Structure 1
Amino acid sequence: MSDRGDIAIVRWPGRAASVEDGLAALLAAYHLRTETEKGAAVAGVDGLPGRYRAEISDPRTAFAGDVVLVAVSGDAAVGCVVMTAPAEGRSEVKRLWTDPAFRGRGVASGLLGAALAHAAEGGVGTVRLSVWRWRTGAIALYERLGFTVTESWDARDQLVCMERAV
């Protein structure tokens, strides 16, 4: 666990049910916002594609084998990130999300720093991620942390692929 003021980064699953419930809420907010930004807004979680509903309803199964880090403030989950299990010396950052009420407090950079440290400890050589082109704040954060744009491995339009050595 690492502290960032009153924000702590914890590896999930932990012992507190509130973190698990909070993780599901963070994932729901992430997916609902993403669908809205893509122009495919849905009224609620039930309108999301099945693979996203599965992450929200059962993150333990959806991310089995991956590392999930959750930022907490008191008992409240305020941010999350998933680092996929290494494959061929690479891991991928997914689902980086900070509760809007906690943005600007170093939550996302703390989560990414902890995820990169975990990757380094596990012998991962490269970490990669994909981000929607319109998420300019996220892209700027990734660039500050040493990620660079690379050739796309994902054919979805408006997706920027980035990577960095660990």
Structure 2
Amino acid sequence: MTDHPEVAIVRWPGATAQLEGGLAALLAAYHLRTEAEKGEPVGSVDELPDRYRAEITDTRTAFTGEVVLVALVGDEAVGCVVVTSPVHGASEIKRLWTDPAFRGRGIASALIGAALADAAENGVDAVRLSVWKWRTGAISLYERLGFAVTDSWDERDRLVCMQRAA
């Protein structure tokens, strides 16, 4: 699903059994980092809010009906993104994360590209996302990939909402 020579983008579940542990580790890193950045650091996955902990401990149930894409370098899961099922012609991108040791290799761009392709294949008209305002690198990436800031649909403070055509 990507033209980057060392990165493969695969759908989860269905790729390999080992992928589940790698995906859980990526989601754990994402949520732990996010809570710390929000000024609410926790020491472990067990201390995360229930809804986030469930994504890590019961990934299959947490993302039922959604598309989960995982970036692999060799057999190692190094990035992930979730694309929600369409609602009123729009899907949402969530949980984009690249292992910090693998950043700068185009993995996040490849994941977003695969997510957009999947959305287009499923007849989605628009793709939206929300990102914490301090994640300026991510905001720049999204803008380069055609996303534009739009009116917020999320009541949480400090979020930037963005959208683009699929």
Normalised TM-score (structure 1) = 0.98
Identity across matched positions, percent = 73
- Give the deviation of 1:2 after TM superposition: 2.9
AA in 2 matched with 1:48: L
CA distance in 2, matches of 1:124, 1:77: 27
Tell me the residue number matched to 1:165.
Answer: 165
Residue by residue over 1:94-125, the C-alpha shift from the partner in whole angstroms, topping out at 9 and shown as x without a partner, is: 00000000000000000000000000011100
Tell me the residue number matched to 2:76.
Answer: 76
Q: Do 1:66 and 1:84's aligned partners in 2 also have CA atoms closer than 8 Å?
A: yes
- Give the deviation of 1:75 after TM superposition: 1.0
CA distance in 2, matches of 1:10, 1:68: 8
Tell me the residue number matched to 2:47.
Answer: 47
AA in 2 matched with 1:90: A
Root-mean-square deviation over aligned CA pairs: 0.8
> Unaligned 5+ residue runs, structure 2?
none
Residue by residue over 1:22-51, the C-alpha shift from the partner in whole angstroms, topping out at 9 and shown as x without a partner, is: 000000000000000000000000010000
Q: Do 1:18 and 1:77's aligned partners in 2 also have CA atoms closer than 8 Å?
A: no
Moved more, 1-10 or 130-139: 1-10
**What is the 5 A alignment of 1:1-166?**
1-166=1-166
- Paired positions, count: 166
Instruction: Say which SS state the counterpart of residue 17 (structure 1) adopts.
Output: coil
Normalised TM-score (structure 2) = 0.98
